[in-house]
């Protein structure tokens, strides 16, 4: 029983980490957060049950109990760090539908000490909605803020916004295949 509790705890912590790594639609972010918190609490409860079983059993080798306790104490904070929101979390700035396809534009901002256009990490992420699941697929990452997105002749064109003066004429293109009733696929990267 106690070995199963340890395995269940590890599986739940891995599940929490995987759930956080998946990019879901904006309307599903609250559901994702609830799943993460519930799974983490369930992992915490099974981990505590595991430790309680080990420490209450007198026949158990105490060195092994200490080792398992240390493993649990180390694993929980590490998995919690993976589930914490990023400091440079991207922000949804535009949601549009082109050719029956929903496109989401996110901006990645500079860390607070830097101004909006002076750091090296600002830019935009363009996601496309999955056909069947409430997931998004990253199609394009830019090193400028995207202001306009178009699809012309199966080519997604992202043009820079006027937020940063140095980026005004920048644009980025990528081939996509958009068929009616089908999720676009990336042809070239």
pLDDT digits (tens, 9 = 90+) for 87-128: 446 788 888 888 778 889 988 877 665 667 777 778 888 898
Is pLDDT of 2 > 70? no
| Residues 123-181: tens digit of each pLDDT | 888 898 888 889 998 888 988 888 888 888 878 888 988 888 888 888 888 887 765 44
CA distances, 36 to each of 21, 42, 110, 171 (Å): 11, 10, 27, 37
State the pLDDT at residue 188.
43
* DSSP assignment string, 32-75: HHHHHHHHHHHHHHHHHHHHHHHHH-TTS-HHHHHHHHHHHHHH
Work out whether strand 146-152 and strand 136-142 pair parallel, antiparallel, or are unpaired: unpaired
State the pLDDT at residue 113.
58
Is pLDDT of 187 > 50? no
Q: Is the Cβ–Cβ distance between 115 and 138 less than 8 Å? A: no
Q: How far apart are CA 142 and CA 138, in angstroms?
A: 11
Q: How far apart are CA 58 and CA 146, in angstroms?
A: 63
Q: If residue 19 lies in a helix (H) or strand (E), which one and from where to where?
A: helix 2-21
Q: pLDDT class for 86, splitting at 50, 70, 90?
A: low
CA distances, 37 to each of 16, 52, 127, 141 (Å): 8, 22, 25, 29
Q: How far apart are CA 139 and CA 104, in angstroms?
A: 10
Please tell me whether residue 92 adopts helix, strand or coil conformation: strand
């Amino acid at each position: 029983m106690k070995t199963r509790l340890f395995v269940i705890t590890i599986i739940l912590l891995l599940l929490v980490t995987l759930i956080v790594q998946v990019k879901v639609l904006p309307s599903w972010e609250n559901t994702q957060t609830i799943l993460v918190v519930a799974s983490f609490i369930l992992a915490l409860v099974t981990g505590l049950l595991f430790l309680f079983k080990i420490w209450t059993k007198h026949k158990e080798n105490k060195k092994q109990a200490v080792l398992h306790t240390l493993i649990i104490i180390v694993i929980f904070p590490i998995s919690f760090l993976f589930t914490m929101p990023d400091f440079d979390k991207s922000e949804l700035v535009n949601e549009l539908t082109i050719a029956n396809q929903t496109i989401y534009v996110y901006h990645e901002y500079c860390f607070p000490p830097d101004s909006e256009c002076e750091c090296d990490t600002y830019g935009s992420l363009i996601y496309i909605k999955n056909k069947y699941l409430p997931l998004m697929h990253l199609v394009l990452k830019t090193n400028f803020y995207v202001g306009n997105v178009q699809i012309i002749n199966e080519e997604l064109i992202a043009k820079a916004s006027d937020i940063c003066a140095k980026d005004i004429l920048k644009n980025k293109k990528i081939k996509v295949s958009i068929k009616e009733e089908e999720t676009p696929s990336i042809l070239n990267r």
